[in-house]
Structure 1
Amino acid sequence: MERRIVVAVDESEESKYALSWCLKNLISESSKDTIILLNVRPSPPVYPALDGTGYIFSSDIMATMDKYSKDLAEAVLEKAKMICQSSSRVTVETKLGCGDAREVICEQVEKLGGDLLVMGSHGYGAFKRAFLGSVSNHCANNTKCPVLIVKRPKA
C-alpha cells in the first residue's frame, strides 16, 4: 500500500522530533510511502512607504527581508530532507507554502492528496494557546485526512 504522508516542518525541535518519530514508527521496510515535507513561511509583511518612526523602507530592504525568509524556509526543508536520508525506504518530496500556517497546511494536505498529516506539538498551555492559537488543533479539526500530533517527551 502506498501512502502520501504530509509532515509539517518548521525550525523547531518539536517538528524535527515529529519527523523522526514518523520515519521510525510509520514507515516499514516494505513500504512505498511518499513523505511530503511541508514548510509554511509567513506572508511578506506589507509596510507603508513611511513607518510610524519616519523611516522609509526601500524596495532593496523589502527584497532582502523576503530573500531571508525564503532562505530560512529552504534551510528548514534541507535539514528535514537530511533526516529523511537516514531512511532510504521512502520517496521524499518538498513543498513550500506561504501564508497563515493553519490555513495553508489544511489546503496543501488536500491539494497534495495526503493520506495522513503528521505534525509536532509545542505543548503550549491553555493560556499561551489562547493567544497564539494552536496550528495542530486547527489542522486536526479542519483537514479531511487523519492527523497525527506527535508530542516531544520532556527531558
Structure 2
Amino acid sequence: MEKEGQKIMVAVDESQESMYALSWCLGNLISDTTTDQLVLLYVKPPPSVYSSFDIPGNIFSSDALGAVEKYGRDLAASVMERAEAMCRNINTSNIKMERVIGSGDAKNVICSAVQKLKADTLVMGSHGYGFFKRALLGSVSEYCAKHAKCPVVIVKHP
C-alpha cells in the first residue's frame, strides 16, 4: 500500500512559464512511492468595475459585459485542460488531481489558497521580468515567496 504523499499546488496560467513549471514539478516533485495530491490553481483577474459609460459616453451593454465574463471562464477552462493533458501524459496513477479557480489579485489569491488548502509546496513559473518591469508591475512569484505559508519553488523557463 502506498503511503500518503504531499499536497503540491501549482499556479497555472496561459503562459509558457507556468506550463514549464508544471512540467518541471511532474518530473521532479511527484514521487512513484507515495500518493501525492496535485492542486492546479488558476487565478482569473478580478472582475472589472465597469461604469455604465465608457470614455466617449457610450453605454456598455449587458451583452458586452457577458461576453467578457464568458471569455474569462473559457480561458480558465482552456488553461486547466492544457494542464490536465500534461498530467495525463505521465503516469498519474499515484496523483490525486484537483482544480481550483480563484478570482482576484493573483498574489493574494495564491497565498490564501496555499493557507486554506494546506499546501505543502507551491510551484510557480517566473516570467523573468527585468528590474524596471518588476518594479512597475510587481512580481507575483516574488510576493508569494515572501508571504506563502509553505516552501515555494520558482521555476525559471530556460
**Whole-Å Cα distance in 2 between the matches of residues 39 and 21 of structure 1?**
17
Structure with greater strand share of residues? 2
Root-mean-square deviation (CA, aligned residues, Å) is: 0.9
The count of corresponding residues between Structure 1 and Structure 2 is: 153
Moved over 4 A (4+): none
Where does the alignment leave 5 or more consecutive residues of structure 2 unmatched? none
Partner Cα distance (2:88, 2:96) in 1: 10
**1-structure distance, mates of 2:46, 2:133:** 22
Equivalent residue for 2:13, pick from 10, 13, 16: 10
Aligned partners of 2:58 and 2:45: how far apart in 1? 23
Q: 1:76 matched to which residue of 2?
A: 79
Q: Deviations over 1:79-98 (max 9, x none)?
A: 10111112213111100000
Q: Indicate yes or no: 2:122 matched with 1:97.
A: no
2:42 to 36, 39, 55: 39
Task: Tell whether 2:127 aligns with 1:151.
Answer: no
Greater shift after overlay, 134-143 or 43-52? 43-52
In structure 1, stretches of 5+ residues that fail to align are none
Q: Which residue of 2 aligns with 1:117?
A: 122
TM-score (normalised: structure 1): 0.96
The amino acid of 2:31's aligned partner reads S
| Most deviating of 25-34 and 105-114 | 25-34
- Report the residue type matching 2:10 in the other structure: V
User: 1:137: Cα distance to partner?
Assistant: 0.4
Equivalent of residue 147 in structure 2, options 126, 137, 142: 142
CA distance in 1, matches of 2:117, 2:31: 22
Q: Report deviation, 1:52.
A: 1.4
| Percent of aligned pairs sharing the same letter | 55
- TM-score, with normalisation over the residues of structure 2? 0.94
